[in-house]
Amino acid sequence: ENPYPFQCSIEDPTKQTKFKGMKSYIAYKLVPSHTGQQVHRRYKHFDWLYGRLAEKFPVISVPHLPEKQATGRFEEDFISKRRKGLAWWMDHMCSHPVLAQCDAFQHFLTCPSTDEKAWKQGKRKAEKDEMVGANFFLTISVPTGPGASLDLQEAESQVDGFKAFTKKMDESALQLNHTANEFARKQVTGFKKEYQKVGHSFKCLSQAFELDQQAFSSGLNQAIAFTAEAYDTIGDLFADQPRQDLDPVMDLLALYQGHLANFPDIIHVQKG
Amino acid sequence: ENPYPFQCSIEDPTKQTKFKGMKSYIAYKLVPSHTGQQVHRRYKHFDWLYGRLAEKFPVISVPHLPEKQATGRFEEDFISKRRKGLAWWMDHMCSHPVLAQCDAFQHFLTCPSTDEKAWKQGKRKAEKDEMVGANFFLTISVPTGPGASLDLQEAESQVDGFKAFTKKMDESALQLNHTANEFARKQVTGFKKEYQKVGHSFKCLSQAFELDQQAFSSGLNQAIAFTAEAYDTIGDLFADQPRQDLDPVMDLLALYQGHLANFPDIIHVQKG
């Protein structure tokens, strides 16, 4: 039974302590679909794995981990955002034909969290791997037979095309990220404020009308007060909106930008 | 048959000329419901009528006419806005128990546009009316009988209450007018621009993706290009919106502010 492709969920970030509470950290519950056995991993384990893979695969874009952050590590927003970032990272890893099968990654996914000894052994093995960097090419077998040989010029032109693409893409992603960020900021502050100003003016108007106590105008007064509230609510909706549309787009863009940042080096290696 | 209340439509503003084309003006078709006979009137006739009524009725708020404007009198936007303004003015006039019945107004509504002589006669008569200003009070008969006499203190307190109300109302209307104006301006310029910026960024991203000609990504590229267009369209919708909501509110407010501006004088006369 071919265990590939598989998925791996990352859930339940939980605060844990060691050294009798002297040190706190967040552990995530990972459940790989091809074993069904849950393991617990910390961000620093992800970081170790990333380091190994980036070193081992010079021609593969290993996605960057979600950003490190020194302060506020235990704040709920940060934890939930990091968990989402790690889940996206994991999705990419599991669906990659080479990365998903490599020993270090499988060790990370399957070694029981309680077996400290096995974990250290696997770690040492990965760190001693000599097929890293330039030696990685020794692990690749060149196809033989008719049609298997690459046309050098064709290959070079493809690499150049890809280079132009990643450059333009990097610029576009950067620009979109900047624009979306600015736009989200304006929705949260400017747009909201503008709607509230109009709401406030309608409220004043309805208060003025109430000074003139006429039975027949109470419906109108209520309508004006309701208009004021509607504008206020629209302002709040604008302020809430970026969390629902632009923020996820920007998070995904950040992941993508990570890949794009990897490519210049990879292209350099390819050209070599 | 009681002809009151009646309405009067104001439609078909048409450019006309006289003195063999030397002078152009806009004439409006008025059809009062109590006669069914259409007459044509120019803004200057409205202006004449307004002058007569304002002079004759010192204690009644005669609504101001829509603003005069020196340049651009024949531009479509201006003409359509003025027609609407005159129609609102007319609605108020027709529904007013005193104004609607006064001779000058009825002359204005019913004198055939073609009968130059009758028009001048009625005009002269209205201009010669001596029951104007302070003399207007001579035309009012005081109710007699039990319960008819006014309590002076009660009346004064009511007048003061109304004075406070109109002052607060005037301030609120002014503020709402200002805020709505600013808000409309921001929707037309700022909001539209913000959405277009985001649209532009998505467009750049889709163009970058197109550099990478992969059959499986064409659907995604189209979706991103569509997102760009959607943001552009939202920007246009924001720019169009004020004409549909805020502009009518502001036009009505202007009418209301005209009434409010009348009240201090009227209250002054009442107190006298």
Where are chain A's structural domains? 8-141, 168-271
Smallest CA–CA distance, residue B83 to chain A, in Å, is 26
Mutation test of the interface with chain B: which of A189, A194, A247, A256, choosing the one with the most B Cβ atoms within 10 A? A194
**Chain A residue numbers touching B197 (CB-CB < 8 A):** 179, 182-183
Among candidate residues B103, B101, B98, the one with its CA nearest the CA of residue B129: B103
User: Are B198 and A179 within 8 A, CB to CB?
Assistant: yes
Averaged pLDDT for residues B245-268: 83
pLDDT value for A229? 95
Among candidate residues B1, B10, B3, B8, the one with its CA nearest the CA of residue B101: B3
pLDDT over 90 (residue A127) = no
Residues A50/A65, Cβ–Cβ less than 8 Å: yes
Residues B201/B227, Cβ–Cβ less than 8 Å: no
Residue B45: which pLDDT band, with cuts at 50, 70 and 90?
A: very high
A8-141 CATH, one of 3.30.70.20, 3.40.50.300, 3.10.520.10, 3.30.1520.10: 3.30.1520.10
pLDDT value for B48? 94
pLDDT value for A176? 92
User: Are A171 and B208 within 8 A, CB to CB?
Assistant: yes
- For residues B237 and B159, the model is more confident at B237
pLDDT value for A4? 64
Residues B258/B64, Cβ–Cβ less than 8 Å: yes
Residues A121/A115, Cβ–Cβ less than 8 Å: no
Residues A52/A127, Cβ–Cβ less than 8 Å: yes
User: Are B176 and A212 within 8 A, CB to CB?
Assistant: no
pLDDT tens digits, residue range A60-86?
A: 889 888 877 666 667 888 888 889 889
Q: Which of B180, B197, B211 is nearest residue A179 as measured by Cβ atoms? A: B197
User: Are B168 and A211 within 8 A, CB to CB?
Assistant: yes
Q: Which of A175, A200, A209 is nearest residue B201 as measured by Cβ atoms? A: A175
Is residue A97 reached through a cis peptide bond, with omega within 30 degrees of 0 on the bond before it?
Answer: no
User: Are A169 and B211 within 8 A, CB to CB?
Assistant: yes
User: Are B207 and A172 within 8 A, CB to CB?
Assistant: yes
Lowest-pLDDT choice from A138-152, B41-55, B212-226: A138-152
User: Are B172 and A200 within 8 A, CB to CB?
Assistant: no
Residue B250: which pLDDT band, with cuts at 50, 70 and 90?
A: confident
pLDDT value for B158? 82
**Chain B residue numbers touching A200 (CB-CB < 8 A):** 179
- Same CATH topology for B8-141 and B168-271? no
**Chain B residue numbers touching A191 (CB-CB < 8 A):** 191
Q: Which of B165, B171, B198 is nearest residue A180 as measured by Cβ atoms? A: B198
User: Are A182 and B201 within 8 A, CB to CB?
Assistant: no
Give the CATH fold of the A168-271 domain.
Substrate Binding Domain Of Dnak; Chain:A; Domain 2 (1.20.1270)
Write the ipTM: 0.75
pLDDT value for B252? 83
Smallest CA–CA distance, residue A108 to chain B, in Å, is 32
pLDDT value for A72? 67
- Looking at the DSSP bridge assignments, the partners of residue A10 are A30
Averaged pLDDT for residues B2-18: 83
pLDDT value for A147? 63
**Chain B residue numbers touching A195 (CB-CB < 8 A):** 183
pLDDT tens digits, residue range B220-234?
A: 889 999 999 999 999
**Chain A residue numbers touching B175 (CB-CB < 8 A):** 201, 204
pLDDT value for A5? 80
* Dihedral, CA of residue B46, residue B51, residue B57 and residue B59, to nearest 10: 100
DSSP string, chain A: ----S--EEEEEEEEEEETTTTEEEEEEEEEETTT---EEEEHHHHHHHHHHHHHH-TTS-PPPPSPP-SS-TT-HHHHHHHHHHHHHHHHHHHH-TTGGG-HHHHHHHHS-TT-HHHHHHHHHHHHH----GGGGGGGPPPP-STT-SPPHHHHHHHHHHHHHHHHHHHHHHHHHHHHHHHHHHHIIIIIHHHHHHHHHHHHHHHHHHHHS--GGGHHHHHHHHHHHHHHHHHHHHHHHHHHHTHHHHHHHHHHHHHHHHHHHHHHHHHH-
pLDDT value for B204? 92
Smallest CA–CA distance, residue B217 to chain A, in Å, is 14
Q: Which two tokens stand for residue B214?
A: 């992969």
User: Are A169 and B201 within 8 A, CB to CB?
Assistant: no
Averaged pLDDT for residues A34-50: 92
Interface residues of chain B, partner chain A, Cβ below 8 Å: 161-162, 164-165, 168-169, 171-173, 175-176, 178-180, 182-183, 186, 190-191, 194-195, 197-198, 200-202, 204-205, 207-209, 211-212
Residue A234: which pLDDT band, with cuts at 50, 70 and 90?
A: very high
pLDDT tens digits, residue range A137-195?
A: 777 776 666 666 667 788 888 888 888 888 888 899 889 989 999 999 999 999 999 99
Q: In chain A, pLDDT over 70 holds for what percent of residues?
A: 93
Give me the residue label for tokens 């009625």: B122
Residue A223: which pLDDT band, with cuts at 50, 70 and 90?
A: very high
pLDDT over 60 (residue B1) = no
The distance in angstroms from the start CA to the end CA of chain B is 39
Lowest-pLDDT choice from B99-108, B155-164, B169-178: B155-164
- For residues A1 and A194, the model is more confident at A194
Smallest CA–CA distance, residue A177 to chain B, in Å, is 9
